[in-house]
Chain A
């Protein structure tokens, strides 16, 4: 046979069965070992069912579905994250060694064929343990007459989807690196980079910016699949049937995984064989790696260095100082730059002629510090327009409350927000003088009868789904609180301690009237409980609303003498239905109300509905007819 005939290919080949089988045969200890360990699951299940059978226990499809969904939503994401890393490092290992890359790339197959075959073998390695463990588990369930088909299908699809995602991520890492350790580092770092950067940048900004109140926004969590999957996957009972929540997330990630594989294939074609062993195998990625590592070093170690060399010995301010912080960040970023250069060059001799890069790094982080410090995006002075606000939540002063963006109370909150911003210099000055630490804890020197402090948390949920969070540590002065209407102290009293806020606090998120009420107090005879349903509970709740509107609910006496007028806590239960829920499927919401001595309407209603319990409550709190009369006169 001639060369032309024997080597002729009638069509392009995208899969090589020899390589596929070779990969599975070479790496059987991994998938075989994982399968063996996984067999503990059906064995445990079998033993449990055997042990329960004697006690007349019956397992149903629904129980099995719940267990399958729990495994898929709790164990599988983290398990696949690790297992995909192992499979990927083995399957793509040939790219990290110049000898093996020489053999593979000499073979008469295209890179597309090598890539697709390796992906197929990697995915097979990932799924084989699930097939074995799942198959044995189904056999055990069949022994008890249970076959949750729907849960099995959803479980299998979810596992396939997540396997595809995680294997595509390790494949991408293998395409951009030629070193096994670096492949793993890129993979795990990549999986957590987005939330890590979110946390680093937000905590960095928080150190400079007045009121920027969060260490973590969570806005980029989608780019960390494990985080995002755990955030959205779960088991829910709906219409007496368990369902897997968040399957849409897996669907989206399957598309993302396919896109990542397509990009990885392109990168494989661009990849130079001689990059085997290199930390970064793609030329275009090298400057990104170098400056990215520098930035990460600056943001992490820079902040640590600042704490050690400046904040701990000298710093008393709630906020960080720009110059020392910039110096710390520049120093650590330049160190990061040289570390990255050493990794790229695989040599410690990187200093000659590298001053330009080091200077660029320094300039880059100085600009970053400047941008954050001078608030170029104007986040400090930003107060959301109420037209764009869905809901506002206020925490930290008395009980939390929530209000809709179009309410009068929302207008009061934004007025308070503006008043706080107008007094920024005063607040910074006062908190520095009073020794308020960065973390916002107040010290005794500030807490006198005429002065106090509170940390106010504001959270705006915007109509587009975004959130704006602010946190202000507010020094409060009694004179301003009582007599100066233009100050934030006064506006805080009007807003957070006014009747509108009080009504908002006792109003459930979904509105409506309560179905039941539960309260208890303790006396010498033990716990005395009050449980009311229907009209009785609604009567008490109506009295609570009346007291709230009259401004009689107050559980945070800012300038008080520390005395307590608290009697007990009442818990109202509200039932509501979500849109799209099946008929008869209700959710429950609770509202807690601290019964105060001055809530006269509520007390009267309680006395009317349950006089014995009410009398016992007063007695347990040491309220006699004499003290009661005195209190009424004082009121």
Chain B
């Protein structure tokens, strides 16, 4: 299990992580989302042992990961800006990784040659950005990590290769119980693969739940009222957003669909329908409360 406890990290007076706490259960696929500058890459660099927190703890299987080779051997990461030696081929980098990761699987490396179709003797710097990303995946997956940490993993990959990569990752989760923490802005893709989500904003975790809990706890209601003006909604209802087109009013409300519909029933709407929210909509409406709403600007 990965545990982050009250981590604070400051860069030249700027608090990039502000008393951040989060946890990733074993076997989970945890999607870390948040606006630009929220601290996603910073917490990932803590999780991989690159950064040392100013205060707080970053634990992997109960031990601090910083300067802990034993724990770091269980982790493999693909950062957004993966580094390779300028004169290295895929084969060179494979030998390098194999020398450090005790669980490196050479057979798997050979099998993945067919999947990625990149000549192993080609210089990585000569490959396209997407192919370099494939090489990163190829080598990282061969490390057979217990924890796979990915920062914008499919950025630059074509749709076929995206699906291929997610499928390989899901297979590892299913077969070996690999725990995955993935940070991405592509919420539609995350929604398909993640079972847990954490939303990060300004160095703090806004919420952390299983995706199903998250989707059950926030609902989009469409209602048509008997009068042109909508009635006042019950005061205890937490409405995140309201909009209307003609007499059709749309509400984003925190709570389960059944409970919310039950509360609104006494107002006798002409029509009341509950719709599920996508992860992208949840992200937008949750962050709306954090002053990160889409601004309607007329130019």
Which residues B66-115 have CB closer than 8 A to chain A? 67, 69-75, 77, 79, 81-83, 85, 87, 95-96, 98-103
- Verify A106–B49 contact, CB threshold 8 A: yes
B183 part of interface (Cβ distance < 8 Å): no
Instruction: Give the distance in Å from the alpha carbon of A13 to the alpha carbon of B69 in the complex.
Output: 9
Which residues A4-21 have CB closer than 8 A to chain B? 6-9, 13, 16-19
**Residues of chain B lying within 8 A (CB to CB) of residue A113:** 69
**Residues of chain A lying within 8 A (CB to CB) of residue B82:** 99, 103
Which residues B41-81 have CB closer than 8 A to chain A? 45, 48-52, 67, 69-75, 77, 79, 81
- Verify A7–B74 contact, CB threshold 8 A: yes
Instruction: Give the distance in Å from the alpha carbon of A64 to the alpha carbon of B102 in the complex.
Output: 51
**Residues of chain A lying within 8 A (CB to CB) of residue B204:** none
Partner of B79, one of A1, A8, A102: A102
- Verify B48–A273 contact, CB threshold 8 A: no
- Verify A26–B83 contact, CB threshold 8 A: no
- Verify A7–B83 contact, CB threshold 8 A: no
- Verify A272–B74 contact, CB threshold 8 A: no
Which residues A99-136 have CB closer than 8 A to chain B? 99-103, 105-111, 113
- Verify A111–B96 contact, CB threshold 8 A: no
> A152 CB to closest chain B CB, in angstroms?
36
Instruction: Give the distance in Å from the alpha carbon of A22 to the alpha carbon of B91 in the complex.
Output: 13
**Residues of chain A lying within 8 A (CB to CB) of residue B100:** 16, 18, 107-109
Partner of A7, one of B11, B52, B70, B77: B70
- Verify A273–B51 contact, CB threshold 8 A: yes
**Residues of chain A lying within 8 A (CB to CB) of residue B70:** 7-9, 108
Partner of B83, one of A13, A100, A109: A100
Q: In chain B, what residue has the closest Cβ to A272?
A: B52
Instruction: Give the distance in Å from the alpha carbon of A103 to the alpha carbon of B82 in the complex.
Output: 8
- Verify B103–A106 contact, CB threshold 8 A: no
Q: In chain A, what residue has the closest Cβ to B16?
A: A274
Given A7-B74, A18-B96, A108-B70, A99 and B83 touching (CB < 8 A)?
A: yes
B146 part of interface (Cβ distance < 8 Å): yes
- Verify B50–A102 contact, CB threshold 8 A: yes
A3 part of interface (Cβ distance < 8 Å): yes
**Residues of chain B lying within 8 A (CB to CB) of residue A3:** 74, 103, 146
**Residues of chain B lying within 8 A (CB to CB) of residue A109:** 69, 100
Interface core residue of A1, A8, A102 (most chain B CB under 10 Å) = A102
Q: In chain A, what residue has the closest Cβ to B176?
A: A3
Instruction: Give the distance in Å from the alpha carbon of A144 to the alpha carbon of B75 in the complex.
Output: 61
Instruction: Give the distance in Å from the alpha carbon of A229 to the alpha carbon of B52 in the complex.
Output: 41
Which residues A262-316 have CB closer than 8 A to chain B? 269, 272-274
> A126 CB to closest chain B CB, in angstroms?
21
Partner of B102, one of A6, A101, A102: A6
**Residues of chain A lying within 8 A (CB to CB) of residue B72:** 106-108
- Verify B73–A7 contact, CB threshold 8 A: yes
Instruction: Give the distance in Å from the alpha carbon of A6 to the alpha carbon of B176 in the complex.
Output: 14
> A289 CB to closest chain B CB, in angstroms?
16
> A9 CB to closest chain B CB, in angstroms?
5
Interface core residue of A13, A107, A110 (most chain B CB under 10 Å) = A107
- Verify B81–A7 contact, CB threshold 8 A: no
Residue interface mask A122-156, B partner, CB < 8 A = 1: 00000000000000000000000000000000000
Given A3-B74, A102-B83, A110-B69, A19 and B99 touching (CB < 8 A)?
A: yes
Residue interface mask A327-361, B partner, CB < 8 A = 1: 00000000000000000000000000000000000
Instruction: Give the distance in Å from the alpha carbon of A88 to the alpha carbon of B51 in the complex.
Output: 24
Instruction: Give the distance in Å from the alpha carbon of A108 to the alpha carbon of B85 in the complex.
Output: 18
- Verify B67–A7 contact, CB threshold 8 A: no
- Verify B50–A26 contact, CB threshold 8 A: no
**Residues of chain B lying within 8 A (CB to CB) of residue A22:** 85, 96, 99
Instruction: Give the distance in Å from the alpha carbon of A101 to the alpha carbon of B81 in the complex.
Output: 11
Residue interface mask A73-113, B partner, CB < 8 A = 1: 00000000000000000000000011111110111111101
- Verify B102–A7 contact, CB threshold 8 A: yes
Given A7-B74, A99-B81, A272-B51, A18 and B99 touching (CB < 8 A)?
A: yes
- Verify B49–A105 contact, CB threshold 8 A: yes
- Verify A274–B69 contact, CB threshold 8 A: no
Interface core residue of A9, A98, A103, A111 (most chain B CB under 10 Å) = A103
> B203 CB to closest chain A CB, in angstroms?
15
Instruction: Give the distance in Å from the alpha carbon of A505 to the alpha carbon of B121 in the complex.
Output: 80
Q: In chain B, what residue has the closest Cβ to A101?
A: B50
> B14 CB to closest chain A CB, in angstroms?
12
Q: In chain A, what residue has the closest Cβ to B147?
A: A3
> B167 CB to closest chain A CB, in angstroms?
23
Residue interface mask B99-142, A partner, CB < 8 A = 1: 11111000000000000000000000000000000000000000
Instruction: Give the distance in Å from the alpha carbon of A170 to the alpha carbon of B100 in the complex.
Output: 27
- Verify A274–B102 contact, CB threshold 8 A: no
Partner of B50, one of A19, A97, A106: A106
Instruction: Give the distance in Å from the alpha carbon of A6 to the alpha carbon of B73 in the complex.
Output: 9
Q: In chain A, what residue has the closest Cβ to B85?
A: A26
- Verify B48–A106 contact, CB threshold 8 A: yes
> B150 CB to closest chain A CB, in angstroms?
13
- Verify A108–B96 contact, CB threshold 8 A: no
> B128 CB to closest chain A CB, in angstroms?
18
Instruction: Give the distance in Å from the alpha carbon of A274 to the alpha carbon of B16 in the complex.
Output: 12
> B79 CB to closest chain A CB, in angstroms?
6
**Residues of chain B lying within 8 A (CB to CB) of residue A101:** 50
Given A26-B85, A102-B79, A108 and B99 touching (CB < 8 A)?
A: no
**Residues of chain B lying within 8 A (CB to CB) of residue A111:** 67
Instruction: Give the distance in Å from the alpha carbon of A22 to the alpha carbon of B82 in the complex.
Output: 18
Q: In chain B, what residue has the closest Cβ to A18?
A: B99
Residue interface mask A480-518, B partner, CB < 8 A = 1: 000000000000000000000000000000000000000
> B70 CB to closest chain A CB, in angstroms?
5
Q: In chain B, what residue has the closest Cβ to A112?
A: B67
Instruction: Give the distance in Å from the alpha carbon of A111 to the alpha carbon of B49 in the complex.
Output: 11
Instruction: Give the distance in Å from the alpha carbon of A18 to the alpha carbon of B99 in the complex.
Output: 6
> A493 CB to closest chain B CB, in angstroms?
69
> B85 CB to closest chain A CB, in angstroms?
6
> B174 CB to closest chain A CB, in angstroms?
17
Q: In chain A, what residue has the closest Cβ to B42?
A: A274
- Verify A9–B69 contact, CB threshold 8 A: yes
**Residues of chain B lying within 8 A (CB to CB) of residue A272:** 51-52
Q: In chain A, what residue has the closest Cβ to B144?
A: A6
Instruction: Give the distance in Å from the alpha carbon of A110 to the alpha carbon of B85 in the complex.
Output: 20
Given A100-B83, A102-B45, A108-B69, A6 and B103 touching (CB < 8 A)?
A: yes
Given A7-B70, A102-B83, A108-B72, A273 and B50 touching (CB < 8 A)?
A: yes
> A265 CB to closest chain B CB, in angstroms?
13
**Residues of chain A lying within 8 A (CB to CB) of residue B69:** 9, 13, 108-110, 113
- Verify A273–B45 contact, CB threshold 8 A: yes
Q: In chain B, what residue has the closest Cβ to A107?
A: B100
- Verify A105–B50 contact, CB threshold 8 A: yes
Q: In chain B, what residue has the closest Cβ to A6?
A: B103
Residue interface mask A535-575, B partner, CB < 8 A = 1: 00000000000000000000000000000000000000000
Residue interface mask B222-265, A partner, CB < 8 A = 1: 00000000000000000000000000000000000000000000
4 closest Cβ pairs, A-B complex: A18-B99, A108-B73, A7-B73, A99-B83
Known: A98-B81, A108-B69; 9 extra A-B contacts, CB below 8 A, are A6-B103, A7-B102, A18-B96, A19-B99, A26-B85, A106-B49, A108-B70, A110-B67, A272-B51
Q: List 14 A-B contacts (CB under 8 A).
A: A1-B103, A3-B146, A6-B102, A7-B103, A8-B70, A18-B99, A22-B99, A26-B87, A99-B81, A105-B49, A106-B75, A108-B69, A269-B67, A273-B45
B residues bordering A, Cβ < 8 Å? 11, 45, 48-52, 67, 69-75, 77, 79, 81-83, 85, 87, 95-96, 98-103, 146
